[in-house]
A and B are shown apart, each in its own frame.
Chain A
Amino acid sequence: MDIRCKDCLYYLPIDVFNGLCKKLKKNILPDQIEKSCFEKNKKCKYCKNFTLSKDDDQLGTCMGTIFAYPDMIAQKCVDFSQK
């Protein structure tokens, strides 16, 4: 899996095109690939409870039944469990 800035704990979104690195305070792009300083944010795609849909790689289920999507930030989700 690509390691993109938008999936990092320190990614601060400004808009759909641009963001800031909370740590380095520099402008970054959400799809920028940064391996050196990347720290995984809590997102559904990193959660044990999430299952990716076979038909659509932008959809899935949470705990087998509830609709969900892989890119959602799950920082405040009580059911989040790191893969």
Chain B
Amino acid sequence: MSEQGSKKCTPTSEYNLFGKVPDKKITGREVVKKPTKRAGVLRDRFFNAKSSVNVEFPYWYTRKWDEQDGDVTIVRRAEALKAAFEHLTPVIYPGELLVMGKAAYLRGSHPMPWLSEAFFMGEEDKAYQEALKSGKLSAGKATTWGQGGGNVTVSEGNVMSIAGKFGLRMEELSVLRKMATKFTGKSVEDIGHKYEQETPGYQEKEALMRSVMCMYESGSAMPQGREVINYYYPLQYGIDGIIDICKKSILEVAGKPEMDRLYFYKSVMIVLEGIKNWILNYAEEAEFLASFEKDETQKKEYLEIAECLKSISSQPPKTFREALQLTWIFHVSVINEDAASGLSPGRIGQILNPYWERDLKNGTIDDEKTLELLECMRVKFTAIDVFATAGLIGGVLSGNTFNNLCVGGLKKDGSSAANKLEMLIMEAGETCESTQPTLSLMYDEKLPEEFLLRAIECIKGGTGYPAFLNNLTAMQFHLRNYGPEGLGVEEARAWSMGGCLENAPGSWMPLELDGETHYIPGGSSGCAGVGVNFLSLPKLLELVLFDGVNQKTAERIFPPHGIKLDTYENLWKAFKKYCLRSIDVLILANNIQYDIWRKFTPSIVNSLLKPDCLTNGKDIGQQGSRYNATFHVKITGNQNLINSIASLKKNVYDDKLFSIDDYKNAILANFGFKTAEEVGSFSFQDQIKEKEYKKWERIHKKSLDAPKFGNDEPYVDNIFKEWEEWICNITHEFKSLYDKPLYVGQVSVSTHGPQGAVTLATPDGRLCGTSFADGSVSAYPGTDRNGPYALFESASCFDHSMSQSVQLNMKIHPSVVRGREGAYKFLDLVRGYMRTGAFHIQFNIVDSRMLKDAQDHPDKYKGLMVRVAGFTQYWAELGKQIQDEIIARTEYQKF
């Protein structure tokens, strides 16, 4: 914080530090590795490419959808998807070994007006105005966008900027609008909106959305993703083999009860024909490129690409490269069938290991070639974009699409699953630093030291990955949550991380290769991130204090709670009342949106991959997956809520220094500070005092001095524990569309930025508009004053297996973990936390001053990556809200 009118602070107060003040010079990374020449060229091309959309896929989808009017919906959709896939223009870039992508651009994506269309209509359009009114676009208004990197932030020349990120050629604008108009009133969003209005409390739900207390609605905005894909069927059977399974199944079910199975199998066959043709179109393009290629090496590579594609267009893969290419194709196929972020490849190093070991044995591959292929894979994953609203893409995802690759964990028999291919995957993550796939290590005491140290070296490089995930804690969560659906200990070991931090259930499938059976893990549920998406807890407390009225807009959200806040117990009573009401109105509307999604745009590609959809003839929406209890309530701002409650307990109820009305007045006056918006920074440290600050100084100081989470202080940690136990248990009382209990999800992603931006000052002393603490158990920046182990004690004060993905971020100065000794010390730190039973920890190994310098000189730091909250992102592509928050995080100078 700075004095009135003076933004400059002294160097010691400019950053939140634990330990000594660093030297004046910015400390760089200990080791910076380089990619292979090929991957370096491909990555440079990516760095220079902008996020671009075209309408090829939606055009052919819409055209065929119109033609098939009257057919069974799932079959109609299958025909539409087939047409879209087989008409995609193939684009192969020189030097690529792995080919194919979402659209005919390097960072290509496309609109899906059948899901939602209002946000890319003109502002004058009725659909846009309707969406605005219902609060579906509110989160976008509260979001700041990264101004650099691949974002197309402004329209220029023949290019139009959409949602602050995507570029569209003007010659495609009219047809996009035409398609959007065709789906107006018929999209999942619009039909869902029609029926969600039937739910009790709908007006409150709309008001909640307008206040940005909830970030987005997954049913129409992002119905798939935040889950783990399953590559088993294409690997085991090949595309023709799956078609044969469908043909046989049709003979068994046609004309019999549960006739929907017939239409499902038919749809799978149709879509696979489209995917097959899409692959063959790429093979044809590779041959075309080879036909005039003068460089013999490149010509040979084009022909190899063609040969590989032709083979896997029908048959199971024979080599590691073919298997990698096929898994990539199906990955893209799923993210093209729906708007999906967080479709994770899962434990691909274990899935592909049988192919890799065989090639290694045959002498057809070595470490060098493998590394090159894995680096190429990284570039392809990093280029994945998803087209959606500004609030979702910017405010939640920060432009990332969260394709999470897991290493480690256990095999089906309970032994360590770590392997050498995974070591190379981590190596590629270091040599070819890129945001995706992000890496997560499933920590288990059985993992070898060498493997863990490899991960530590990767993190030390400053990539932000891998995150450490506690295998046993995750298994306990999965047993609790999916046990009623039949999940046992063996299958619990097959879990993996979906999306940035939505751990998802898996299964072991028997891959046969050379007469041997390899049990490979893969996702076995639909989206594990659907439901109430990011309930802002500090904003909810604001509503409690002001009896249901959003002070930012003066709009009443809830009827008065009618509870006099004269005791600590009553404060909780009122909070819980509004909390339950919020979940109730939001989940009812969400269930309707999801029901409309499954009825109108059922998943076909993802369903055919997921056990046991092909076996039982049901898609994901019909609970064809093995596990279906995947709906949740995601919360944001846990730490600010608890710090605020602790502050009120201490200063109002225990010490009786102030009244609730004193606090309300102080909050309205922002404790005598300017707002973050006025200051132009979303970090608490940068805020500027107003003239009348003195009037509020005492209450502000007492609020800041009240016990804070992250210091191993029972006063506040006990409140945290009590809160967690209540919310995790009470959430089970609510039911999903599939009549399964909900669970709590505890990952903020980027929502702590925009949701902080719309929230007034909080009783913990946080100021109006500044970001909340990130994750769910990261300390609020600068408030963790007792060192990392005290933070760990606080963070693990409750049972993390009660909910999905309890998240902790830490920032460490590079000098602290330097050298081999530093690596061991670092590993001990991680182990120390994992052994408390805590679920997750991840690190930024960076000098905060470098981030500040990057904020001031983005061009100097084009490739700089940081860990946000479950994902790594290019600094230049982050919005200022999140940049400020990461700079403000406490930097550990010692441990």
Chain A contacts to B: CB under 8 angstroms:
12-18, 20, 22-23, 25, 30-31, 56, 58-59, 66-73, 75-77
Check if A22 sits within 8 Å of B89, measured CB to CB. no
Check A23–B292 contact: CB distance below 8 A: yes
Q: CB distance B91 to A16 under 8 Å? A: no
> Of A31, A56, A72, A75, which contacts B59 at CB under 8 A?
A72
Asked if B43 lies at the interface with its beta carbon under 8 angstroms from chain A, I say no
Question: Does B8 touch A at the CB level, under 8 Å?
Answer: no
B59→A15 contact, CB < 8 A: no
Contacting residue for A20 out of B52, B94, B281, B292, CB 8 A: B94
Chain A neighbourhood of B49, CB < 8 A: 14-15, 18
Do residues B167 and A73 form an inter-chain contact, with CB atoms below 8 A? no
Contacts of A23 in B (CB 8 A): 292
Given known contacts A20-B94, A59-B174, A71-B171, is B45 in contact with A14 (CB within 8 Å)? yes
Top 3 nearest A-B pairs (CB, nearest first) are: A16-B167, A58-B174, A69-B175
Contact A14 B87 (CB under 8 A): no
A68 to B175, CA, bound (A): 7
Q: Which residues of B contact A16 (CB under 8 A)?
A: 50, 52, 105, 152, 158-159, 167-169
Interface size class of B (residues with CB under 8 A): 35 or more
Take A25-B94, A31-B158 as given contacts and tell me if A15 and B87 are in contact as well, using a CB distance cutoff of 8 Å: no
Query: Within the assembled complex, what's the spacing in Å between the Cα atoms of A71 and B59?
Result: 12
| Distance between Cα atoms of A58 and B55 in the complex (Å) | 13
Q: Using Cβ atoms and an 8 Å threshold, which residues of chain A touch B168?
A: 16
Chain B positions 104 through 126: 1 when the CB is less than 8 Å from some CB of chain A, otherwise 0: 11110000000000000000000
**Do residues B86 and A76 form an inter-chain contact, with CB atoms below 8 A?**
yes
Q: With the chains together, A17 CA to B106 CA distance in Å?
A: 12
The interface residues of chain B lying within 8 Å CB-to-CB of A56 are 174
- The one of A17, A59, A69, A76 in contact with B89, judged by C-beta atoms closer than 8 angstroms, is A76
- Chain B residues whose C-beta falls within 8 Å of the C-beta of A72 in the assembled complex: 55-56, 59, 175
Report A-chain residues with C-beta under 8 Å of the C-beta of B369.
Answer: none
Please give me the residue from chain B that is nearest to A77 by CB atom: B87
Residues of the B chain whose Cβ atoms lie less than 8 Å from the Cβ of A59: 174-175, 178
Given A16-B168, A58-B174, A69-B171 in contact, is the A75-B89 Cβ separation under 8 Å?
Answer: yes
Complex contact A58–B171 (CB within 8 A): yes
Q: How far is the CA of A73 from the CA of B55 in the complex (A)?
A: 11
Question: Which B76-98 residues have C-beta < 8 A from chain A?
Answer: 86-89, 91, 93-94
In the assembled complex, the Cα of A18 lies from the Cα of B671 at a distance in Å of 50
Q: Is B447 an interface residue (CB 8 A)?
A: no
Instruction: Beyond A15-B167, A17-B50, list 7 extra A-B contacts (CB 8 Å).
Output: A14-B48, A16-B158, A20-B93, A56-B174, A71-B169, A72-B55, A75-B89
**CB neighbours of A30 from chain B (8 A):** 158, 169
Could you tell me the distance between the alpha carbons of A69 and B93 in the complex, rounded to whole angstroms?
26
Q: Contact at B106–A14, with CB atoms within 8 Å? A: yes
Q: Can you offer 30 A-B residue contacts whose CB atoms are under 8 A?
A: A13-B91, A13-B105, A14-B105, A15-B49, A15-B52, A16-B50, A16-B52, A16-B167, A16-B168, A17-B159, A20-B93, A20-B94, A30-B158, A31-B157, A31-B158, A58-B174, A59-B174, A66-B63, A68-B59, A69-B59, A69-B172, A69-B174, A72-B55, A72-B59, A73-B56, A73-B89, A73-B104, A75-B89, A76-B86, A76-B88
B152 to chain A: which residues have CB within 8 Å?
16
Per the bound structure, the CA–CA distance linking A75 and B288 in Å amounts to 13
Is A13 a contact partner of B167 (Cβ separation < 8 A)?
Answer: no
Residues of B within 8 A of A77 (CB): 87
Contacts of B55 in A (CB 8 A): 69, 72
Pairwise interchain contact A71-B172, C-beta atoms closer than 8 A: yes
Contacts of B63 in A (CB 8 A): 66-67
CB distance from A21 to the nearest CB of B (A): 11
B289 at interface (Cβ–Cβ under 8 A)? yes
Residues of B near A14 (CB, < 8 A) are: 45, 48-49, 93, 105-106
Closest-by-CB residue of B relative to A25 is B94
Residue numbers in B under 8 Å from A15 (CB-CB): 49-52, 105-107, 150, 167
Question: Is there contact, CB below 8 Å, between A12 and B59?
Answer: no
Give the residue of B45, B56, B88, B178 whose beta carbon is less than 8 angstroms from that of A67: B178
| Residue contact B289 to A22, C-beta cutoff 8 Å | yes
Q: Give the residues in chain A near B157, CB-CB below 8 Å.
A: 31
A23 to B94, CA, bound (A): 11
Q: Do the beta carbons of A67 and B89 come within 8 Å of each other?
A: no
List the A residue with the shortest CB-CB distance to B289.
Answer: A22
B132 at the interface (CB under 8 A from A): no
Q: Which B residues, 490 to 519, have Cβ-Cβ distances below 8 Å to chain A?
A: none
B 44-74 to A, binary, CB cutoff 8 A, 1 in contact else 0: 0100111110011001000100100000000
Q: Give every chain A residue within 8 A of B173 (Cβ-Cβ).
A: 58
Does the CB pair A12–B89 fall under 8 Å?
no
Q: In the bound complex, how far is the Cα of B168 from the Cα of A13, in angstroms?
A: 13
For residue B277, which residue of chain A has the nearest CB?
Answer: A76
Specify which of A12, A31, A67, A75 is in contact with B175 (CB 8 Å cutoff). Answer: A67
- Chain B CB within 10 Å — which of A16, A22, A75, A76 has the most? A16
Q: In the bound complex, what is the Cα–Cα distance between A73 and B54 (angstroms)? A: 11
Residues facing A in B164-182 (CB within 8 A) are 167-175, 178
Bound state CA distance, A8 and B49, in angstroms?
Answer: 20
